[in-house]
Structures are given as C-alpha cells and as structure tokens.
Structure 1
Amino acid sequence: MKSIFYVLAFLAGVALSLEGAMYASLGETIGKLESSLYNFAVGTIILGVALLFFGKGKLSYTKEAPKWQLTGGLLGLIYLTILVVGIPLIGVGMAMSSVVVGQLIMSMVIEHNGWLGSPKVTVRKEKIIAVGLMIVSLFLIY
C-alpha cells in the first residue's frame, strides 16, 4: 500500500512541471501576478466544491490552529509566482531541478531537527553526497 504513494508523489512532480510551464505561459499572456491569482482562484473554487462533498474536517477551527501552521498558503504563493516569473527566463527543466534540490535540502534539515512535527531522521553521508551530486547536476543542466 505504501508504494502507491511513491507513484502518486512522482505524478505530483509531473503535475508540478506541467503546472509551472502552463502558468508561466499564461503569465506571458495575462500577466505574471494575474496568472498566479488565476491559479489560486480556480483552485479555491474547485477545492471549495470538493469540500462540500468530501470534507470531513472542521474549517472553523482554523482560528484555533497555531499561526505558523497557517503560513503554507504564503509559501505556495511565493513558490508559484517565482515559477511563473522564472520559467520563461531559465526554462522548465532548470526551474524544476532547482526546486527539487531546494526541497531535498530543506526536507533533510527539517527531518534532521524534527521541526514542524516531523519525526527525527538523522542525515547520513549518503544523503549529503546525493544532494551534492544533484547540485553538480544543476551546473551540468545549465
């Protein structure tokens, strides 16, 4: 059962690359910030409808959540807007490769320190070598 999530995570990565390229192109047509706004507006509407049928949580408890947990939307906005601006300049491949390297480095720091409710996972030298090789790959891709 767990292996299905590896496939789903892979497909999420495929979707992110498609999304980045699509919204970068849309940004050239309607404007970069407008493209990001469109993304979040359409996503909000679709998710709102899905929530009506499948939601099981308590959205009203948002005011009781720790405030740091509510900053994810800001981070998503920053992520997408940087892609909308950056992909026309550096390309989808370089942008997504850089995103993956950044995600790996930050996820290692988060897990190593047990931040944000994550279980502690000690960083091994193999992980450091792997990330180092990915950083080298950025220069080779460029």
Structure 2
Amino acid sequence: MKIWVYVMALLAGIALSIEGAIYGVLGLSIGKLESSFYNFAIGTVIIGVILLFFGKGKLSYTKKAPKWQLSGGILGVIYLTILVYGIPYLGVGLTMISVIVGQMAMSMVIEHKGWLGSAKSTVSKEKILAVILMSVALLLVF
C-alpha cells in the first residue's frame, strides 16, 4: 500500500481549506471575482515557470484532445469562485464539508458508471454509509 499517496491527498485537503479561507477573505478585500481571477493568474504564472523546467508532456495536444477533457479548467473556476462566495457566509468548515459530501457522492456515481475514463467500482454499503455519515456531520455542523 502506498501510504504516501494518502498523506499527499490529506495534505491537498489541508491546502484547499487554507486556500479557501485565504481567498474568501481576499474576496472581501478586493472583490469576489477579482479574488478568483488573482488565484488563477498567479497560478498560471507559477505553473508556467514549472512547466518550462520540468514539463515533459505535449501541451500542443490540447487542440486534438476531446473537448470534454478540457472542461476541468471551467470546473476549477466554478469551484474556487463558489468557495470565495460561500466561505464568508458559511465559514471554512461548513463550506468544505459541503464540498466533501458532494465529492464523495459524485465520485461514487462516476466510478460506479465508469464515466470519464474512470475504472468501474461498484457502490458498496460502506460507501453509501460514508456519504450518509458525512451528510449527518454537515447537518450537525450547520
């Protein structure tokens, strides 16, 4: 078992909560859409520099890739912008629990159906129970 993958995913979750809190407050200072724009502008510059030194893929393939595969950028903008709007009203915890419940539920559907190139994985009682318990946690925190 590759425990480091779990640790990295846990760290990504920690980073998302910190990022959401930062951009939620920044949105109050400079504007909500401006906060989201700032995030993606700075991120583009940073990943662009990293790409120059470490990139090994074919960025030119994006012209040939199926268009649905390019929708992640749009979904990322929607996600971050919703966080910028939601966190000042709901708080970091409630917003992130809501995100996690949505992620868990949709990931089960995606994996069960094998959508978007995902390996098929049947929905188990344990997975359903996990979503139910997270939903209960959301209600308790609310």
TM-score under structure 1 length normalisation: 0.98
- Following TM superposition, by how much is the alpha carbon of 1:133 offset from its aligned partner in structure 2, in angstroms? 1.1
The residue type equivalent to 1:8 in the other structure is M
Between the aligned residues of both structures, percent identity stands at 71
Tell me how far apart the structure 1 counterparts of residues 106 and 138 of structure 2 sit (CA, whole Å).
Answer: 17
Tell me how far apart the structure 1 counterparts of residues 70 and 127 of structure 2 sit (CA, whole Å).
Answer: 30
Tell me how far apart the structure 1 counterparts of residues 35 and 90 of structure 2 sit (CA, whole Å).
Answer: 18
Q: CA RMSD in A?
A: 0.7
- The alignment partner of 2:138 has SS state of helix
Asked if 1:25 corresponds to 2:10, the answer is: no
The size of the alignment, in residue pairs, is: 142
TM-score under structure 2 length normalisation: 0.98
Equivalent residue for 1:115? 115
Structure 1 segments unaligned to the other structure (5+ residues): none
Tell me how far apart the structure 2 counterparts of residues 104 and 18 of structure 1 sit (CA, whole Å).
Answer: 20
Tell me how far apart the structure 1 counterparts of residues 21 and 81 of structure 2 sit (CA, whole Å).
Answer: 12
Equivalent residue for 1:134? 134
Equivalent residue for 1:101? 101
Tell me how far apart the structure 2 counterparts of residues 28 and 97 of structure 1 sit (CA, whole Å).
Answer: 22
The residue type equivalent to 1:45 in the other structure is V
Structure 2 segments unaligned to the other structure (5+ residues): none
Runs of 4+ with >4 A deviation: none
- The alignment partner of 1:121 has SS state of coil
